[in-house]
Amino acid sequence: MTTSTAPESAFRFHPRLWIGAAMLFAFPALGTIMSDEVKWGPEDFAAMGLMLALLCGAVEAALHWLDAPRWRIGGIMLAVLLVLTVSAHLAIGIFG
């Protein structure tokens, strides 16, 4: 009788990543509720939610498909820099 375990699934979900994104999403919502200085509308929350979802998806994809640690780090850094660049452009009004 063998005591082998079941084969590991090819995809591993990282819940801490998504919980961190949800917490990051909650800060502007709390700021909008608690202060008059933070003035976010529904379109701002939609844009941030979309960017955070795409960022988390890109990080999950990098962790799943890239084998070497340096490629994973590079892919994650590229995704983070892309989101930061788009959010900076949105903040100063270039895209919207």
Write the pLDDT tens digit of every residue in 26-77: 999 999 999 999 889 999 999 999 999 999 999 999 999 998 999 999 999 9
Alpha-carbon span 47 to 31, nearest angstrom: 17
Q: Quick one: pLDDT at residue 93?
A: 83
Alpha-carbon span 54 to 40, nearest angstrom: 20
For residue 76, is it within any domain? yes
For residue 51, is it within any domain? yes
Report whether pLDDT(94) > 90: no
- What is the domain range of residue 57? 42-96
Q: Quick one: pLDDT at residue 3?
A: 63
Report whether pLDDT(7) > 80: no
Report whether pLDDT(11) > 80: no
For residue 33, is it within any domain? no
Q: Quick one: pLDDT at residue 51?
A: 95
- Are 25 and 87 in contact, with CB atoms under 8 Å apart? no
Q: How many domains does the chain have?
A: 1
**Relative orientation angle of helices 69-92 and 42-65, to the nearest 10 degrees:** 170
For residue 7, is it within any domain? no
Alpha-carbon span 13 to 72, nearest angstrom: 16
For residue 20, is it within any domain? no
Alpha-carbon span 60 to 96, nearest angstrom: 28
Contacts of 51 (CB under 8 A, 6+ apart): 83, 86, 87
Whole-model pTM: value is 0.80
For residue 14, is it within any domain? no
